[in-house]
Structure 1
């Protein structure tokens, strides 16, 4: 059975709009009940739903969109739509049944999410079985620059990209490009992917002009030497186009509020339920084990590279090198109780006070002591990017095995790589995932916790 590529693609999103409208309006009647001005109420919740959806990009789901992005946008949609529904209920009804409104919002958004995920996975399966909803593509460039994308297209048919041909530009680039563009026009290819490193500016302009004039999509593959971010932001200052190479999601007002509320709630729960009784117990145990204070307070670099006092339960004997030398395996400075609390990460719990005071976040790049930060900043490319956001008690790098002692340059390079990925792809759900993995790793035992 042969399905013409993209035959019904244009109808998928409008179909989703209609189904979502039916869900939120039908459930509003079924759960909340009829209103005196039911038609006006339906108009308000429908318009509100789509305004919020446009703001958060709720319907911006593409074949390459990750599931966690869909879940994150749904969470944002749920929170804001719930607030709007409560406000509308105050206006349209004499009495507000908060429990009904909360139930309605949760059920409605859950059904919308289930339908969205069904479409998402159905299309992936549909592309594999029937070849429908697909895009034909060609690659233009040398092997070393296009090889990863070539493998991606061939190994992931569920994304719906059909690689038709690869054009090498090792020899005469102009001839290769002419052959490529002729092939694209004759075979009605949908998308052209070009390796930027293999083409001059004038050749890139020629390809862009061809794509514009022939209604083709052209995309570019950067190489490792080009300073490009995964979240490039394109803006206009009046009519002047401006490209921002790094879009820090946590700097957006709504995200900043969500992140801070989460930190406050989470840290408050830990402080009240655990630290309230653990601190006096640890004070006795640590004092009996060795002389010195309960807390080890160390200067570390935080948001915007500002110093702050980072709190930990003291796990070492008093020494003059604590602020200069990183801890290493079988470190003789560590006390008996210190070995246990470091292995179980109990020593890190006082940092929830730092989170509560706004100096740290529950999740974020781990802060380093001041003495080594300068060394890493000079040694590791993009190390300072980590300081665009608040440091965290745990982070993505730590869940990937890059915590504790820095034994090789690869350790700190990979830590920075994961930290930058986290900064550019932050979401509340990603924070929750990192926390769950951290708890699992702690209970299982981490070889690098010493």
Structure 2
């Protein structure tokens, strides 16, 4: 049977080069630290080198460190490499502790190896980046790009090209057949360089290196005709999903026999990503529960002796894939509403106890949810769970609201650290919260989770909108 090859995974043409130089940098850093500190290269050190090298390559793949960085930022590329290095050395320390050969390794030597690796990974990347920038400043290695279709997606792409000059793109213009009054509003401020046929002619003459098609999907016949005419050119052609699809798509290709399918609504936590996310949740929640256990006991006693009612309030919420879960919280109200109608807490709400007001403002009432994380109902980072009654209300009012449930609900999230937490007394507040939640799901990475956790520590616990 003929295998499907309609879609192929994208990878950088320089990926092998980057992998080779990264491993060379790690080995060079190790050799330099060994010579400087004069320690013998025993079998334990060889195990250490192999552990760090393999762990680094594995983590680099998770962080997509070897994707095409012509369309990415140098700072992000370096941070991905450093993040992978940090995790690789953390894995080395765990393995050396488990197998009891930490005493055979020099701590100063390992520290020097780590610092030199940090430096070398940055230096060689900076050198390559500087070389490419110099070539592009001389007009070399520039690529002429044009966009067919003056649409919202086209404007977004153009803005990204203009903001990131390190891409080495020279923008030639928008090409569209429509009259100015039919164009997307923001495009009217830009000059249209010509018709679609002008773009085809320029591509045939070799004046365009990359052509982006930003026509709406409903223009399938025009797109098919355009691709047919571009078939006798050497231009690189890229299709930009229209604004609606680009907000939904998760860009994962599946194969059903010889038929290719492109996911639109799908959880990002599939396969290895699910394992990574769950491992993160177990490790982080276990550490936090051990650290805060005295605080949990103290708050439990305070709740018990300051107001009548249970210490823990278990409320029905929707979890992954819309399944009901019981979310644990310290009781902060004189009532425990869990019915079809739940009145959201407001400023100066009489139902909130004196201690409860403090617990809610500081988010201490949510600490028992780390037990939910350990159980597997929730995650450390994810969209905050709403009461079932609120879910049923807003799923009818906010577009793609239920897509939030393609990830486990979290103790903290991208929306919360950006200020969208607390009372949602207007529809636009809920829409902004959902917008940030969907952004998190669409762009999830281990690095993003780490970023959100650190931002929560410094700015996420207190918020003026939390009552």
Query: TM-score normalized by structure 2?
Result: 0.77
- From 437, 441, 459, the counterpart of 1:423: 441
Q: Distance in 2 between matches of 1:15 and 1:101?
A: 28
Residue 305 (1) aligns with residue 322 (2): yes
Residue 366 (1) aligns with residue 359 (2): no
Q: Distance in 1 between matches of 2:56 and 2:353?
A: 59
| Count of residue pairs the alignment pairs up | 431
State the 1:362 CA deviation.
0.9
Q: Which residue of 2 aligns with 1:383?
A: 401
Q: Which residue of 1 aligns with 2:145?
A: 137
Q: Which residue of 1 aligns with 2:244?
A: 225
Q: Is the 8 A contact 1:290 1:335 kept in 2?
A: yes
Structural mapping, 1:183-332, within 5 Å: 183-197=202-216, 200-226=219-245, 229-246=248-265, 248-253=267-272, 255-274=273-292, 276-318=293-335, 324-332=342-350
Q: Distance in 1 between matches of 2:266 and 2:123?
A: 30
- From 344, 359, 363, the counterpart of 2:362: 344
Deviation digits for residues 173-199 of structure 1 (CA, Å, limit 9, x no counterpart): 9x9322211022225211112222287
Residues 213 and 55 (structure 1), Cα distance of their counterparts in 2 relative to 1, 3 Å cut: farther
Q: Distance in 2 between matches of 1:124 and 1:340?
A: 55
Q: Distance in 2 between matches of 1:110 and 1:131?
A: 32
Q: Distance in 2 between matches of 1:147 and 1:279?
A: 51
**SS of match in other structure, 2:269:** helix
Q: Distance in 1 between matches of 2:55 and 2:284?
A: 29
Q: Distance in 2 between matches of 1:339 and 1:64?
A: 48
Q: Which residue of 1 aligns with 2:26?
A: 24
Q: Distance in 2 between matches of 1:212 and 1:46?
A: 47
| Higher alpha-carbon deviation: 134-143 or 72-81 | 72-81
Q: Distance in 2 between matches of 1:280 and 1:50?
A: 40
Q: Please, what is the CA RMSD of the aligned residues?
A: 4.0
Q: Is the 8 A contact 2:381 2:452 kept in 1?
A: yes
Q: Is the 8 A contact 2:267 2:406 kept in 1?
A: yes
Q: Which residue of 2 aligns with 1:5?
A: none
| Higher alpha-carbon deviation: 280-289 or 27-36 | 27-36
Residues 305 and 14 (structure 1), Cα distance of their counterparts in 2 relative to 1, 3 Å cut: closer
State the 1:126 CA deviation.
4.2
Q: Is the 8 A contact 1:78 1:109 kept in 2?
A: no
| Higher alpha-carbon deviation: 95-104 or 65-74 | 95-104
Structure 1 residue runs of 5 or longer lacking an equivalent are 1-9, 88-92
Q: Is the 8 A contact 1:298 1:311 kept in 2?
A: yes
Deviation digits for residues 223-275 of structure 1 (CA, Å, limit 9, x no counterpart): 3334664531124444332222356332222x33332232222222222222x
Q: Distance in 1 between matches of 2:434 and 2:30?
A: 47
- From 379, 404, 412, the counterpart of 2:422: 404
Deviation digits for residues 123-165 of structure 1 (CA, Å, limit 9, x no counterpart): 7854774454432111222365533333333343232221113
Deviation digits for residues 58-102 of structure 1 (CA, Å, limit 9, x no counterpart): 422322235547644664576569869999xxxxx9x97496996
State the 1:108 CA deviation.
6.9
